[in-house]
Structure 1
Amino acid sequence: MTEALREPTFLVLTALADQPQHGYGVMEDVRRISEGRVRLRAGTLYAVLDRLREEGLVEVDREEVVQSRLRRYYRITGLGAQRLAEEVTRLRSNATAASARLRRSGFAIEGGPA
């Protein structure tokens, strides 16, 4: 059984599942995906990306120079997509179990019957 992904890691992989992006694009996409709850700082993002590269879950797609600065684009690998899919399944299963127990206890679930 694989270890649960931390939320920033999950969100970075989610952002890259759509298309290759550079660092700032990933930070903005994570903010959008999380509806503003998660705001990655550059240091945190690049630490996550470095770790994901070491694990083979993301790779550099391409590099370009913009206004004399190097812009590196990252993309999710097949292994990264598989790991993200496993995490989605794990989270969905946990959420289903929690929702069922809350409903049985008489608590209303947002988007579902009480």
Structure 2
Amino acid sequence: MKVQTLTDRSPTDLLPLPTAQFHILMALATGDKHGYAIMQEVELFTNGTVTMGPGTLYGAVKQMLVSGLIEESDERPDPELDDQRRRYYRMTNLGGRVLDAEVGRLEHLVLTARSRRPTSTGKQGA
């Protein structure tokens, strides 16, 4: 019997992603970030409609570290620009595959929702 490792997991095993985890993966898609930078990035790409607090962020980060979606990064910026207490996170290969799968799942849901909404003429479809 083969033991399944985190990297062997199918991305669909982790879907649907909780919203906070989806937002964190989106923030990390552009590179390694510390917690506060993740919160700022989420607020930026949601046009201020989502403000992620530290409890939500670090609760999700803890789960994502265990599930292998993210990992702590050893790479740090210039010491003059950095606070040694900060932890930096990066998306893993599994995290990237899960993000892609979740985006596909959400795209399908949006298309389905649009096809079921009546148009202005009262007919189904777009």
Q: TM-score range by the shorter chain?
A: 0.7 to 0.9
Q: How many residues align?
A: 106
In the alignment, which of 79, 82, 92 is matched to residue 97 of structure 2? 82
Q: Distance in 2 between matches of 1:91 and 1:63?
A: 32
Report the AA paired with residue 100 of structure 2: A
Question: What is the aligned partner in structure 1 of residue 47 from structure 2?
Answer: 35
Q: Which has the larger radius of gyration?
A: 2
Superposition TM-score, scaled by structure 2 size: 0.76
Q: Per the alignment, in what secondary structure is the counterpart of residue 39 of structure 1? A: coil
1:63–1:71 CA contact under 8 A, matched in 2? no
Unpaired segments of 5 or more residues in structure 2?
1-11
Q: Deviations over 1:6-36 (max 9, x none)?
A: 2111010100011000111000001111111
Q: Distance in 2 between matches of 1:89 and 1:26?
A: 23
The structure whose RCO (Cα within 8 Å, separation 6+) is larger is 2
Superposition TM-score, scaled by structure 1 size: 0.83
How many Å apart are 1:63 and its aligned residue? 6.6
Q: Distance in 1 between matches of 2:120 and 2:36?
A: 40
Runs of 4+ in 1 over 2 A off after TM superposition: 62-67
Unpaired segments of 5 or more residues in structure 1?
109-113
Question: What is the aligned partner in structure 2 of residue 95 from structure 1?
Answer: 110
Question: What is the aligned partner in structure 2 of residue 70 from structure 1?
Answer: 85
How many Å apart are 1:73 and its aligned residue? 0.7
